Structure 1
Amino acid sequence: MARPELSRSCPEGPPRAPARPDPAAQRRRRAGTAAIRAVVWSTRLVAVLTLATALFPTPRRVLGGELRSVLGLPPAAGLAGVVITLVAGVGLLLLATGLRRRKHRAWALAVGLTAVLTIVNLLHGAVSGHGVVAGLTSAGLLVALVMCRRWFVARPDPGGLGRALLVLTQLAAAGFGLVWLLIALDDRRVVGHPGAAAQAEHAALSLVGVSGPVQFRAGWLDDLTATVGLAFGVAAVLAAGYFLLRSPEPRPRLTADDESRLRSLLARHGGRDSLGYFALRRDKGAVFSPTGKSAVSYRALVGVALASGDPVGDVEAWPGAIEAFLAECVAHGWVPAVLGCSERGATAWARAGLDALELGDEAVLDVAGFSLEGRPMRGIRQAAARVKRAGYSVRVRRLAEVGDADAGELAALASSWRGGDVERGYSMALSRVCDPADPAAVVVTAELDGRVRGLLQFVPWGSDGLSLDLMRRDPDADNGVNELMIVELLATAPSLGVARVSLNFAVFRAALERGERIGAGPVARLWARVLRIASRWWQIDSLYRFNAKFRPVWAPRFVAFPRARDLPRILVAALEAEGFGGRPPAALRLLRR
């Protein structure tokens, strides 16, 4: 079946290709990307050389013996130097990730750490000649970092510094206290009678992996205190580094002004994309093009700015909105990603430098061409007839025609029928039910014996279309209620001025279909089997089969992303936004505290 031109019935005329982005902006972005890539790989190289300095015998001997002797430091300073060098190498590897995201705080830490390493490596070279290469490499990185400062502009999490200091203090204090207790409570295995000051000194030094003044009769206790102290010390540094460098995750909120501007754009260009109305979710922000003729709506999660659908507004202004969105991502260190854009939208994002991958298909029904006649529609026809015979009746109304009391009752029913505590859906869900702010929405209810047993909510798709937002039913309702409500909606659609209806989005629909074909290869069959197993949790196969029963036209939808290595992070953000997983709620509460 040929792919549909979804905008063919749009009164704005045939679809236009998105305009190309500003060439000057593209050149600046390419220059910045090249400079950042060079700095990131140089940082990784210096990190590897630093780790080699701490791990290989000859450099470690220079650091722990010769250099310590020349500088007249105590014996414990040698081991401390090795531990600090190891932490510096690991720290540079972690900072490279922050540098790749253009974080200014990562740049400042990298400059300070590289300056210290340069001094230490040059001292190595002056003492034994072994640290010359590492010293010159770290000095070169330091120069590159300073010269490329203007590219590292991403703002940190506003509360990150305070949280970093707090968690550093808490974990270090916990490790210090635990080691001190291990020493004080088991003094029979301690040589002599060290005082409280000696015990405290030993506990403090254990946090950096250095042996203190306390001597143990039992070797295992010495190993235990050293392991516990170092584990808490490393955990304190890593946890503090996470809070110090993490990207901001502001509470999502759509301002009244942004909502008004988006509604104005949808009134003029809402027929272009069936997902356009979902830009009005109140847990999204919006970035507008310089002309104000287009906008990208998004939500920031897990360091990802997750947009959905195509940009809202005039196609000619899409590049401006996309550039503004990408600039916002750079300013906050977010990974840009787009979930569920159309083929035309994917083209616009690809021209801005993102890659695109087909994610699934949207089921679109043409009202004029829909019919229950024929063998392929027998399942829908029989299900609807069976439920009608059971006594169900269906009402189709614009939300403006539903009274406030009835709207509140329907919203309460939808909430009680929800399968979990989390409202699911992001790219194709409005996250509110029967809200007075959406008077043009269409509500379909199925009733039995005067009680509502099923509810569908559709949002406007331009002036002549509807897009499915919500599908809920009473768990005790008969099977076939949803099919009956959709059939009755399509029968009533002409009186509502509706010519097209978008149903659910079927993720990996093409893969499931290919795996069921006669002669499908082993890889296609295996992938389809994996998707069916995953459907036990995410309704992949069931949504595809439900949509397919209506014989829709399938419209492909895509995910856009910068690089393949960002896909795992984007997947976590998408699952969390859609309400299907992501970060555990307990972990989120802990991070916020």
Structure 2
Amino acid sequence: MSAGIEPRPEIVRASTALACAAKRWTAGAPITIVIAATTAVATVTVHALTADPDFVEHHLNLSISALSQMHWWTLLTSVVVAPNFLVLSLSVVLLLLCGVPLERHMGSAKFLAAVGIVAVLGAIAGLSLAVSVDSFDEDWGSRLGTSVVFDPAAWVAGVAMAASASMPVLWRRRIRVGLPAAAIVLALFHGGLSDLVGLASIIVGLAVGRVMYGPVDPEDAVAGTRRESRLLVALIVLASALGPVLALVSNDAAGPFGVLEALLRADPWTAEEVRAVCSSAAQSSECRQGLFALRFDGLGFTVLAVAPSLFLVTICDGLRRGRRAAWTSALIAQLCLTASAVLNVAQLHESWSELSDAGVQLDGSYLIRAAAPLLTPVAVALVLAFTRSSFTIASPNGAARSAMRSVGLALLTLGTLYVATGSMSARTIAYVPELAVDFVQRLIPSVYLQWFEPALLAGEFVPSWMYQWIGVAFWVTLCATVLAMFLRPTYDDEPDDARRARDILVRSGGSNLSWMSTWSSNNYWFTPDGNSFVAYRVVGGIALTTAGPVGPRQDHAAAVRAFADFCSDNGWTPCLYSISADTRRVADALGWNSVHVGEEAILDLTSLKFTGKKFQDIRTSFNRATKSGIAAEWTAYSDVSPVIRDQIVAISREWVADKAMPEMGFTLGGLTEMEDPDVRCLIAIDADRTVHGVTSWLPVYRDGEVVGWTLDFMRRRSTGFGPAVEFLIASAAVSFASEGFEFVSLSGAPLAKSPRTIEADGLSATVSSPDPVEKLLDAVGRALEPVYGFRSLLAFKSKFQPRYESMYMSFPDSAALPGIANAVGRAYLPRMTLSQSAHLMWTVARSRATKRDRQ
């Protein structure tokens, strides 16, 4: 009797974890689950009962003919019966990803009502719009007449529009700009029946939201930030840029703006056929058609056709950052697109007139389709013109000149390569002028080449791959150069900013970590009165602060608000990192999100006594140090003898080498930060002047006086005195207590939490950010534990029985979390190489595998 095969434990654990995650995600969304389950059951049942693969499309999915034949049931069946199993899978995923959070936000009753109203009225309105199309564009109308609809994305978008009426103002604006812009682009460039139904559903959803939640608060309607208006303009430009790309990649684009798809559907020509036609009738329309077709024959030409769209996508990043150069470039691009559309209409009108004079009866809808692309660049240009005041940030000094030099060098290099290759192939320089002209034409997107006679035929003198891709190489270089210019942050620091910041810190004080704001990697923003400042660095468009504002405590709220305005004016997202509970309260009052990112361990010196069992390890370190002849000696790193300095450097290098990872920065200082003469250094040294360990301490000021010290740098020799760090910290605490200081801070442990609740800070246990964010940070902390030991560091500090204060990260927009995560990572590890990144991932993966094996 054979034993059953049991599943592998890791598969069982993974399946269980996946099931638990799915249960947590779908909790509170019963209507969405019912719709998804009904869709799956209905689709499987219908396909099992009928052998006709087209039965669903002909009888159950929505279409113009279905309603004209009074098949009203299709309004329902088109929502729950998918035409095939691939569409079913995508629909269920869409419902789980979008329907669940929408139902949680709206409540099940309102969600169900919105689904029913949007699905029915949106479908009827979309079909009515499709019927009206036939009156002015028969080709588009005929395609719509043969189309069917099964698209839950339409009613999901409509329900999202309805739900946006009760969302915070930032998300409401994004949804109400982004969804309609995307729907309009889909309708005009792709032009399918489902696109029109989606557009109509969004309009219906907007009305449903007003009925359910009432009109938008007038204050919200006019409130907002300059940064948000930039983002909305960027979304509009992005939507207009992606339209031609959509038409290009679609096999069935029918919309009036789908010019590229129509061109690419044309019959292909070969160079030999074009030569044969043009040799006998060079001015004939057939010759021109063949020459034009050659310019679309190949993947390179297809990519080149959408090069302006890709350039506009790059420009959108600059618009999002508020760059004046991006606004100017976008406006010029829209004016060029408008001019090209006008020229295209004029050329087609001339051809149309010639055919009409010859007695040919023509349908005017073709000219309407030719004129339709005028609308998009005109509309976008008007949006740009009316929002000019939002784009005021100049490029960094020299950035524009550097970009122009790079583009000019690329143009010269590619042109020289193209002409030289053609001349070598022709074995003469007689064709240099033709090759130069042809190179310029290679840079022009194919759709605009119809206005120019080709200097050379494809494949003549120049290899086909170069003929196709030389223009693409130029546009890629242009996009990369412009993007690099936008990524360069604009600073306006003065040479004495660091001195001013230090003077304010000494005079007014700050948090226990504020001395880190004096480090050289920071930039500084000062309040208009010059009494407060914020230290920050810009990483990927995120203005990441080093602790909170520094200055008079009563001015902190005004400083945070003014700093947020400063960041908005510069196109950055502010992120207050490692801030105290007091600063977090200020951010919460502004409606920001907050995340718990670590713990600060603090020893109160007024009552410090290393007595009792809980301090046994500390007393042991003192006793062992005494037996080993090791003493704690205060010094300044900038003043130590070369022999001591060399030992400290060696200890630090040994520690870094042992990690096989770069030393972390940002809120973790190194030897450079120890050079500050105001930083005190305590070393464990024996009678032979051998250094066994080293710690550095940062001053904490209040009202011009030092009231405490913060631990920063700590290292020990691997072969030296074992408890050197415990000995040094305890010795420092005893010494500071004898000097009359109030406390020492053992600094923070990033991505680690103490076993206590957040209520200790007088704050709610539920922070304003969603729980998954903190869970993600916990997961990151666990993953990095084998490399950097954040949790081990926190456990080590617990030996001193400190009290804990939470450190927070506050930011105004949860949509910026991916960028914030990137900024924090790059701030801590600015010099991480590719090999070190690979080593980090390998170490994390090995640790997780070892942990699973132990289980």
TM range (shorter): 0.7 to 0.9
How far off its partner does 1:99 sit?
A: 1.5
1:142 alignment partner, one of 381, 386, 392:
381
- 1:458 pairs with 2:697: yes
| Paired residues for 1:3-402 under 5 Å | 30=224, 32-33=226-227, 35-55=229-249, 59-60=259-260, 75=292, 79=296, 86-121=306-341, 127=348, 128=366, 129-130=368-369, 134-179=373-418, 187=425, 195-198=431-434, 205-207=441-443, 213=456, 216=459, 222-226=463-467, 228-248=469-489, 250=491, 255-256=495-496, 258-270=497-509, 272-352=510-590, 354-396=592-634, 399=636
Say if 2:681 and 2:695, in contact at 8 Å, map to a contact too.
Answer: yes
Structure-2 separation of matches of 1:206 and 1:171: 14
Amino acid at match of 1:135: L
2:750 alignment partner, one of 507, 510, 518:
507
How far off its partner does 1:26 sit?
A: 11
Closer, same or farther: CA 203–139 of 1 in aligned 2, 3 Å: closer
Say if 1:310 and 1:341, in contact at 8 Å, map to a contact too.
Answer: yes
How far off its partner does 1:125 sit?
A: 6.5
Closer, same or farther: CA 410–42 of 1 in aligned 2, 3 Å: same
1:553 alignment partner, one of 786, 803, 810:
803
> Helix, strand or coil: the match of 2:753?
helix
Structure-2 separation of matches of 1:136 and 1:106: 21
How far off its partner does 1:364 sit?
A: 1.4
How far off its partner does 1:139 sit?
A: 1.6
How far off its partner does 1:309 sit?
A: 0.7
How far off its partner does 1:193 sit?
A: 11
> Helix, strand or coil: the match of 1:497?
coil
Amino acid at match of 1:89: S
Structure-2 separation of matches of 1:27 and 1:583: 47
Amino acid at match of 2:811: F
Structure-2 separation of matches of 1:527 and 1:335: 20
Closer, same or farther: CA 513–326 of 1 in aligned 2, 3 Å: closer
How far off its partner does 1:203 sit?
A: 5.2
- Residue of structure 2 equivalent to 1:18: none
- Residue of structure 2 equivalent to 1:11: none
Amino acid at match of 2:729: I
Structure-1 separation of matches of 2:533 and 2:670: 17
Closer, same or farther: CA 84–157 of 1 in aligned 2, 3 Å: farther
> Helix, strand or coil: the match of 1:89?
helix
- Greater mean alpha carbon deviation, residues 406-415 or residues 138-147: 406-415
Structure-2 separation of matches of 1:132 and 1:33: 34
Structure-2 separation of matches of 1:353 and 1:583: 38
Q: Which has the higher strand share?
A: 1
- Residue of structure 2 equivalent to 1:7: none
- 1:427 pairs with 2:667: yes
Closer, same or farther: CA 417–201 of 1 in aligned 2, 3 Å: farther
Amino acid at match of 1:106: A
- Residue of structure 2 equivalent to 1:10: none
1:497 alignment partner, one of 712, 721, 740:
740
How far off its partner does 1:466 sit?
A: 0.7
Say if 1:49 and 1:134, in contact at 8 Å, map to a contact too.
Answer: no
- Residue of structure 1 equivalent to 2:819: 569
Q: Deviations over 1:96-117 (max 9, x none)?
A: 2222221111111111112222
- 1:483 pairs with 2:726: yes
Unmatched tracts of structure 2, length 5 or more:
1-218, 267-283, 349-365, 447-453, 758-772, 837-855
Structure-2 separation of matches of 1:543 and 1:471: 11
Amino acid at match of 1:274: N
Q: Deviations over 1:57-81 (max 9, x none)?
A: 651266688xx979x8963796499
How far off its partner does 1:465 sit?
A: 1.1
Q: Deviations over 1:225-277 (max 9, x none)?
A: 24542442232122222234333355x97743x4444344333432x510122
Structure-2 separation of matches of 1:405 and 1:268: 26
Q: Which has the larger radius of gyration?
A: 2
How far off its partner does 1:410 sit?
A: 5.3
Closer, same or farther: CA 585–451 of 1 in aligned 2, 3 Å: same
- Residue of structure 2 equivalent to 1:417: 651
Say if 1:363 and 1:553, in contact at 8 Å, map to a contact too.
Answer: yes
Amino acid at match of 1:96: C
| Paired residues for 1:497-536 under 5 Å | 497-510=740-753, 531-536=781-786
Amino acid at match of 2:385: V
> Helix, strand or coil: the match of 2:667?
coil
Say if 2:522 and 2:537, in contact at 8 Å, map to a contact too.
Answer: yes
Closer, same or farther: CA 532–477 of 1 in aligned 2, 3 Å: farther
Structure-1 separation of matches of 2:685 and 2:663: 24
User: Highest relative contact order (Cα 8 Å, sep 6+), 1 or 2?
Assistant: 1
Structure-2 separation of matches of 1:278 and 1:26: 38
Structure-2 separation of matches of 1:240 and 1:200: 24
Structure-2 separation of matches of 1:414 and 1:291: 42
Amino acid at match of 1:501: V
Closer, same or farther: CA 200–310 of 1 in aligned 2, 3 Å: same
Structure-2 separation of matches of 1:217 and 1:78: 13
How far off its partner does 1:344 sit?
A: 1.5
Say if 1:407 and 1:434, in contact at 8 Å, map to a contact too.
Answer: no
Say if 2:575 and 2:810, in contact at 8 Å, map to a contact too.
Answer: yes
Amino acid at match of 1:130: R
Structure-2 separation of matches of 1:292 and 1:233: 48
Q: How many residues align?
A: 539
How far off its partner does 1:335 sit?
A: 3.1
Amino acid at match of 1:493: F
How far off its partner does 1:490 sit?
A: 1.5
Q: Which has the higher helix share?
A: 2
Say if 1:453 and 1:477, in contact at 8 Å, map to a contact too.
Answer: yes
- Greater mean alpha carbon deviation, residues 335-344 or residues 50-59: 50-59
Amino acid at match of 2:543: A
How far off its partner does 1:169 sit?
A: 2.7
- Residue of structure 2 equivalent to 1:16: none
Say if 2:543 and 2:573, in contact at 8 Å, map to a contact too.
Answer: yes
- Percent identical across equivalent pairs? 20
Say if 1:209 and 1:226, in contact at 8 Å, map to a contact too.
Answer: no
- Residue of structure 1 equivalent to 2:102: none
Amino acid at match of 2:310: V
TM-score normalised by L of structure 2? 0.55
Closer, same or farther: CA 547–511 of 1 in aligned 2, 3 Å: closer
Amino acid at match of 1:417: I
- Residue of structure 2 equivalent to 1:8: none
CA RMSD of aligned residues (A): 4.3
- Greater mean alpha carbon deviation, residues 109-118 or residues 119-128: 119-128
> Helix, strand or coil: the match of 1:321?
helix
> Helix, strand or coil: the match of 1:290?
coil
Say if 1:175 and 1:207, in contact at 8 Å, map to a contact too.
Answer: no
